[in-house]
Structure 1
Amino acid sequence: MDDELLPKLSQNLLSILDDDNDEYYDITIEVGNDPYVRVFRAHMVILNSRSPYLRRILSTNKKRSDETLTHIKLPNILPEIFQIILRYIYSGKLFLVEYETLDIVKILVTASELGLQELIPHLQSFLIKNETHWMEQNFSLIYQTSFENDSFLDLQNFCTDLISKQPEKIFSSPDFTSISEESLTTLIQHDDLQMSKVQIWEYVLKWGTRCNPSRCAGNKTCPEK
C-alpha cells in the first residue's frame, strides 16, 4: 500500500517545482558560468532535507529580515545536469535510460558534489551493467573521474579489473592519447598489466607523439595542420 501511494507524493512535489506561479518558493539558484547560466527557483525546506551540501550552503545564507529571496550560486555545475538532479531531489525518480552515457557520468559527479550519497552506487552500477563498451571506449575519462573521488569505488574496481585482464582495450581505445601523463604513468606501472614491455612502449610512443595543441602550436609539420 505504501509503495502505491509514493508515486502520488512524487507527482505532487514535482508539480510544486514546475509551477511557474508558485508563491511559496523562497530561494533562487544561479547555476553555471557565463554565458551558460540558468536560474532555478526552489524551496529551502526540500533542499535542506535532501542535500547535505546545499544544507551547509543555506546555513550560511539565512533568509533576510526584509523577506528578500535567498540567492545562491553553483558555478561549477552545468545547468542541464542540475535540472536533472533538482527533479530527482523533488521526486526521488531518475530515469537513466533517457540520458546519454556522458550525461550519466556528469550526474554521478554532481550527485557526489551535492552529497546525494544514495545515488552514487546506483549510478555506478547502471554504468557498469549497461555501458561497459562505452566506458572501454572512453577509458581515459572514466579512469580519471573514478580516481578523483574516493566514493567511486565501483568504477575504480572496474578500471583496475580492465587494466589487469584486458589492457589492450585501454591502449586501443579512441581516447587513449588524451589520457593525462600522471594516469599513463600509473597504468604502465600497474603490477598486473598483462602486456610485454615492447607493446607497452609502442603505446607510450603513440601517446607521446599525439598532437598536443600546446606543443604543436606554430609547428607546420604537425599532422593535424
Structure 2
Amino acid sequence: MILRYIYGGRLSLEEYDTSDIIKILIAADELNLQELITHLQSFLIENKKNWMEQNFNLIFKTSFGNDSFLKLQNFCMELMSNKPEKIFNSVDFVSLSEKSLISLIQHDKIQMNVIQVWENVIKWGIAQNPGLPSDSSSYSKDDFDALKNTLHQFIPFIKFFNLKNKEFLSKVYPYKKIIPKGLRENLIQYFIDRPNNEPGSKIMINEINSKSIDSRIITFQHAELISKWIDRLEITNDIKNLYEFKLILRGSRDGFSVKKFHEICDYQSHTILVIKMKESDEILGGYNPIIWKSDYSYGSTKDSFIFSFDDKENVGKHILSRVNNEIYAITNNSNYGPIFGNYELCFCGSSVLLQNLVCYEKFIKKIGLFFVEEYEILQIKKV
C-alpha cells in the first residue's frame, strides 16, 4: 500500500480496517513520509472517531509513542478533557497502562466528578488482579494488600475532600484499607465534622460513625456481612438496611460471669454474641432477634443463626448456620450465658461449648469445649 502511495501518489483507505491503517501510519513514520502521516491522522479523526474512542488505549499508546502524531495526540487530550467517560467505557479501558491512567485522572480539565474517577480507578485496579472479587465485603487482608499495591500511585490524585458524605460512605469507605492510614483517618474525621446541607446529612454522619464499631473482636466488614445475613441477603447483594452495632457487654470490661451476662442482657433483643477464641484467631458467634431470659425455657424464632470466621482479617472464610428447628432456637438457663439451640453453641463464662447439631443447619466448628479470650454482646438497631 505504501509503495502504491510512493509511486502513484494516491491512496484509498476505505478498503482497510482501522487497525491496519494504524499499522500503515507507524510504517509511514518509519519511512518519514510526513505528508502521508498527516493525511492518515486526518482520515482517522474524521472517519474513525468512534473506533478510536472504543480503542483508546491503542490510540493513546500509538500517538504518544511518536512525536510526529500530533493530531492524534490532540485528539486524545481533547477526549480526556471533554469526554472522559468514553475512555472509561472503552473496550480496552482496563488495558490502559498505569502511566496513561494517571495522566487521565490528573488532567486539570477532566470533565468528570470525583466519585466517577474513583469508581473507574477501582474498576481498573480490580482488573489488574484477576483473582479479586468484585465485592469488597468478601476481601481478605491479602486481597486488600494486592489492590493497595496496585493503586498506591493513584491515591494522591483522587480529590477525596470534594466528595459528598454519601459518596464517601458508600463508595470509598468499603475500600478504606487501600488508603494510607493518615489520610484515611483525616478523611473519616472530615466527613464526620464537615457542615453539610445535603438532605439527610445527619443520617450520613450517623452512618459514618457506625462504621467505627466499638468491638475488639469484629470489624466493620464482619458487621456488614452479619447485617446481610440478618436481612437474608446474598454476599453480593447491596446492603438493604443500615444497622448500628452498640456494645452492651464486654468480658474484659464487665466480667465473664454468667450472672453478669443475665444482669446486663436479660430482656434485651436483637443481640449478637461474638467470641474470640483463646490461642486461635477464630471468631464464633450468633444472632438472637428475641429477648434473653433467666428462666428455664426455650425461645422460638426463625431468624436466629450462628456463625464462625477463621480470623479477624479474612471475612471471606466463614460458616453461616441458620436455625432449622425454630421452636428450640434459643435456650434460656440462668446457669449459663447465651445458648443457641439445644446447647449447640453455649457460652459458659471462660469457655464455650459446642455440641451435636439439633436445631441448626451445620457445624461452625468441631464439637468440644474451648477456652475464650474475649467475648462481647452487641445490640443492633436500624439507623
TM-score (norm 1): 0.56
Aligned equivalent of 1:198: 115
Aligned equivalent of 1:126: 43
State the alpha-carbon separation in 2 of the partners of residues 222 and 96 from structure 1: 44
**Alpha-carbon displacement from aligned partner over 1:128-181 (angstroms, at most 9, x marks no partner):** 100110011011111111111111111111111111111111111111001111
Cα shift at 1:222? 8.1
Aligned equivalent of 2:139: none
Aligned equivalent of 2:54: 137
Aligned equivalent of 1:93: 10
* 2:21 paired residue among 104, 118, 123: 104
State the alpha-carbon separation in 1 of the partners of residues 5 and 36 from structure 2: 10
Where 1:98 maps in the other structure, the secondary structure is coil
Cα shift at 1:86? 2.3
Q: How does 1:47-86 map to 2 (within 5 A)?
A: 84-86=1-3
Residue 181 in structure 1 maps to residue 98 in structure 2? yes
Q: Which has the higher helix share?
A: 1
State the alpha-carbon separation in 2 of the partners of residues 90 and 222 from structure 1: 56
Letter in 2 for 1:124: Q
* 2:73 paired residue among 134, 153, 156: 156
Q: Which has the higher strand share?
A: 2
State the alpha-carbon separation in 2 of the partners of residues 185 and 161 from structure 1: 16
Where 2:38 maps in the other structure, the secondary structure is helix
State the alpha-carbon separation in 1 of the partners of residues 25 and 73 from structure 2: 14
**Alpha-carbon displacement from aligned partner over 1:9-40 (angstroms, at most 9, x marks no partner):** xxxxxxxxxxxxxxxxxxxxxxxxxxxxxxxx
TM-score (norm 2): 0.34
Aligned residues: 134
Aligned equivalent of 1:208: 125
**Alpha-carbon displacement from aligned partner over 1:100-143 (angstroms, at most 9, x marks no partner):** 01111111111001111110110000001001100110111111
State the alpha-carbon separation in 2 of the partners of residues 97 and 222 from structure 1: 43
Cα shift at 1:205? 0.8
Letter in 2 for 1:208: G
Letter in 2 for 1:168: E
State the alpha-carbon separation in 1 of the partners of residues 96 and 35 from structure 2: 30
Letter in 1 for 2:38: P
Q: Percent identity?
A: 62
Give the number of the structure whose alpha-carbon radius of gyration is greater.
2
- Gaps (5+ residues) in structure 1? 1-83
Where 2:34 maps in the other structure, the secondary structure is coil
Cα shift at 1:88? 2.0
